[in-house]
Structure formats: C-alpha cells, structure tokens
Amino acid sequence: LYMPKQLIAASNHNKYFFSKILQSGGLVEGSPFELAPLQLSQVPELDIKGITNYTQDRIAIAKHCLNLGTQEENAGILSAHVIRLSFEQLCLGTIYAFLHYRPQHHHSLYLFKLVQFCHDIPPNIFSEQLFEQSPLKNIFCFHHTELRYRSSSLFSVTDLNMAHSYCQCLLDYLLPIVNHQLQTLKTASHENEKT
C-alpha cells in the first residue's frame, strides 16, 4: 500500500508502475482528489533500454553472488550473505522486468511474493514454505549486519548447500522467463515506433 504523498513523490522509473495501479486499482482509504497532484500525463514512456540494463545487471549480480556462495573459502556467514544477496537481486531483476517497479522494502518473502505476482513459481522450484523452515528462512532472510558482528557461522554446510540449490533452481527457472519478457518489451517498443 502507498500513501498519495508517496505516489506524488515517486521517481520517474516508478511513476509508470503507479500510473498502472491508479488505472486498474482502487483507493483503500481517502478520496480520489488526493491523487490529483500526480499528473498521469507526466508519466514517462517506458524506458526499455533502462529496464533491460537494470534487469540484466541484477541477474548478473545474482549469478556472480551465487557462484561466490559455492567457493569453499566463503563458508559460513559470508556464504549465507551472498546466497541471500543473490536471491534478492534475482527477485529485483524479475520484478523490474515485469512491473517496472523498484521496491523500497527488501524483505525476502515480500520480494518473492512480488515475483510470484509477476509469474507463477511452481512449488517444486521454490516454495513460499521455505520461509517457514528455520535454517532456510534464516539464510534467505539473513541480514547483512550479521557480517559485522558474528565471528562464526550460524548455518551448517548442508543448510547452505540446500539454500544454494534452491536459489540456483529459481535462477535457472526465471532466467528464460525474464529474457522472454525483455524480448517482448523490445518487440512491442519497436512496433510502437513504427506506428
């Protein structure tokens, strides 16, 4: 949920997303006149190149972090951190490819639910129930400040390997879907330029 003042203050890359919400959604509370300062005529055209670059950067970071998570010297808390970071970046790239939206809140379960909104994820690929299983939940929701204060690992190698496998499975599943979405956007953009 967003307040009208947040919609008004939205940066250009989020205005497109908010305009779609205003066109297809509804107010939970308040009056429509409160939204008047958000000028839908000022919504920029979709920046296909920007969407593609941002998405591809997030996917590249996700892949790189996942590769770092497999190296033996990165065992323990660093491994948990890069696995969580890989998951976060994969989610952010997917969300931006489909919704053209950059969330201000980065809790892992929230990001995963946004990804599920974009495209259904089969439970055998990655399930929301993983966030209820203690070791995996703690890895996928691992906070970066743990790197500052912990000197030993909180997770077993088995748990880290399992989290890594789930994240790799999600990446392998989403990568062709995200690439197809980016190609669809490019094709639609070229067709719009012709008309």
Could you state, in order of their start, the residue ranges of all structural domains in the chain?
4-42, 48-194
Task: Please report the pLDDT score of residue 18 as a whole number.
Answer: 61
The pLDDT assigned to 115 comes to: 96
Token couple for 161: 């390997």
pLDDT score of 109? 93
pTM of the model: 0.80
Integer angstrom CA distances of residue 72 from 76, 99, 149, 155, 160: 9, 37, 21, 14, 11
The reported pLDDT for the residue numbered 176 is 98
pLDDT at 29: 56
Class of domain 48-194: mainly alpha
Q: What is the pLDDT of residue 78?
A: 84
* Token representation of residue 90: 């994969």
What does each of the 195 residues of the chain score in pLDDT, given as a tens digit? Answer: 555 566 556 556 666 666 665 556 555 555 655 555 555 556 667 889 999 999 999 999 999 999 987 766 556 788 888 999 999 999 999 999 999 888 888 899 999 999 999 999 999 999 999 988 888 988 888 877 776 777 667 788 889 999 999 999 999 999 999 999 999 999 988 777 776
Q: Would you call 36 exposed, middle or buried from its count of C-beta atoms within 10 A (0-12, 13-18, 19+)?
A: exposed
How high is the pLDDT of residue 8? 56
Please answer whether residues 28 and 1 qualify as being in contact, where contact means their C-beta atoms are separated by less than 8 angstroms: yes
- pLDDT of 54 reads 96
List the one residue out of 89, 68, 83 whose CA is nearest residue 160.
83
Residues with Cβ within 8 Å of 125's Cβ and at least 6 positions away in sequence, in order, are 169, 170, 173
